[in-house]
């Protein structure tokens, strides 16, 4: 049978892009794990030559049956809804599920790469540096971020570890294969649809005098760059630990939307609306990944600029509703 590589979240946004990139780089015998019953995600894995498809609830059973055959675990699957406030959902799908996979990998000396999140940084009071020393102090702003930080804290306390492990703090990821995400899809996706329907785009007005309207900033990273970071870490296996996955360059929402208009060859028409009061006090005005740790480990591939990523995403995928 050969060694097996586990990929959770294989039907999802980042997981489906990673799966294709891993196959294109020559990885074989990938076991795709997800809930494949969701028809909205079907195109994300249609035609993929995965070794097998396993429902996420059956993964522990599968691992038990094939425990000496597993070569790597890429754990990208998670409940990612930042508007979900049922903590039990996150404890089950994010925290405890990930602990089970960690324990399996630690016992079998299997490399383990998992999705953490920049949501762990909360309001950014401690900065955006992937420094293990600040993890205990971080205060995420929602149960999703808390579940990710709770696992990071737990991982750092373990004495029994996988042969190599990396927790990736994804910043604002965008790109192909996010059609199913609805409200949780990237701003680029929403801008494309809103511009197509109305010819205009609405952005939140700034409620802080030091930021002009539309100049709230995020570290936007193209999903193909995320897949490249994961491939690099798996192939080179530097020091285990938490790694930021952003570009290291914050960009304004205004510039992002202007890039979408430009990719559509249309004049930018932007309206500013008040940030809803229920999220106003938790709204982040600036996030930017400190990418020093990853770069110090030898990662050299240049990140897509915002304009490059948006242009490719709009013209090669969104315009014709294509998948990667």
Same domain, 154 and 272: no
Same domain, 153 and 93: yes
> Sign of torsion, CA 169 193 216 182?
negative
- Domain with 39 in it: what CATH number? 3.40.50.720
> Could you tell me if residue 102 is inside a domain?
yes
Same domain, 113 and 204: no
CB 22 within 8 Å of CB 7:
yes
112-117 and 30-34 beta bridge pairing: unpaired
> Could you tell me if residue 323 is inside a domain?
no
Same domain, 254 and 166: no
> Could you tell me if residue 78 is inside a domain?
yes
Listed residue (80, 155, 69, 144) closest to 112, CA to CA: 155
Q: What is the three-class DSSP state of 285?
A: coil
> Could you tell me if residue 193 is inside a domain?
yes
pLDDT in tens, 52-61: 999 999 999 9
In this prediction, residue 81 carries a pLDDT of 63
Same domain, 45 and 166: yes
The catalytic position among 99, 129, 153, 181 is 181
The catalytic position among 128, 144, 222, 313 is 144
**Residue 88 belongs to what domain range?**
4-173+220-248+291-296
- Give the Cα separation of 79 and 279 in Å (integer): 20
> Could you tell me if residue 324 is inside a domain?
no
Same domain, 134 and 203: no
- Tell me if residue 179 is catalytic: no
- Give the Cα separation of 126 and 134 in Å (integer): 7
> Could you tell me if residue 166 is inside a domain?
yes
Listed residue (17, 7, 9) closest to 324, CA to CA: 17
Burial of residue 272, with CB atoms counted within 10 A of its CB: 0-12 exposed, 13-18 middle, 19 or more buried: middle
In the chain, how many domains are there? 2
- Tell me if residue 128 is catalytic: no
Same domain, 76 and 165: yes
Same domain, 254 and 274: yes
Same domain, 256 and 277: yes
Same domain, 143 and 201: no
In this prediction, residue 86 carries a pLDDT of 72
Full-model pTM: 0.95
Same domain, 72 and 180: no
> Could you tell me if residue 301 is inside a domain?
no
In this prediction, residue 82 carries a pLDDT of 61
- Domain with 180 in it: what CATH number? 3.90.25.10
Low-confidence ranges of the chain (pLDDT < 70): 1-2, 80-85, 89-91
Same domain, 189 and 92: no
> Could you tell me if residue 150 is inside a domain?
yes
- Give the Cα separation of 180 and 167 in Å (integer): 25
């Amino acid at each position: 049978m050969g060694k097996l590589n586990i990929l959770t979240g294989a039907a999802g946004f980042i997981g489906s892009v990673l799966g294709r990139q891993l196959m294109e780089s020559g990885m074989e015998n990938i076991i795709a794990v997800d809930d494949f019953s969701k028809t909205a995600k079907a195109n994300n894995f249609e035609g993929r030559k995965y070794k097998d498809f396993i429902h996420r609830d059956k993964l522990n059973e599968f691992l038990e049956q094939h425990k000496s055959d597993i070569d790597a675990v890429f754990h990208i699957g998670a409940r990612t809804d930042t508007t979900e406030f049922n903590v039990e959902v996150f404890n089950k799908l994010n925290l405890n599920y990930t602990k089970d996979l960690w324990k399996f990998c630690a016992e079998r000396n299997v490399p383990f790469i998992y999705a953490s999140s920049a949501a762990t940084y909360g309001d950014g009071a401690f900065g955006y540096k992937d420094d293990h020393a600040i993890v205990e102090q971080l205060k995420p702003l929602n149960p999703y971020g808390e579940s990710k930080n709770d696992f990071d804290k737990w991982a750092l306390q373990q004495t029994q570890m996988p042969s190599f492990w990396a927790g990736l703090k994804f910043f604002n990821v965008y790109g192909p294969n996010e059609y199913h995400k609805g409200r949780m899809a990237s701003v680029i996706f929403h801008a494309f649809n809103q511009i197509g329907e109305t010819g205009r785009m609405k952005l939140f007005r700034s409620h802080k005098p030091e930021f002009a309207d539309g100049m709230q900033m995020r570290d936007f990273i193209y999903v193909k760059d995320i897949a490249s970071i994961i491939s690099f870490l798996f192939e080179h296996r530097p020091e285990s630990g938490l790694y930021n996955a952003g570009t290291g360059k914050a960009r304004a929402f205004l510039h992002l939307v202007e890039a979408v208009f430009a990719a559509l060859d249309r004049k930018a028409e932007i309206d500013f609306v008040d940030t809803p009061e229920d999220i106003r006090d938790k709204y982040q005005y600036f996030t930017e990944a400190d990418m020093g740790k990853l770069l110090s480990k030898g990662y050299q591939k240049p990140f897509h600029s915002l304009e490059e990523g948006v242009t490719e995403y709009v013209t090669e995928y969104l315009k014709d509703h294509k998948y990667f």
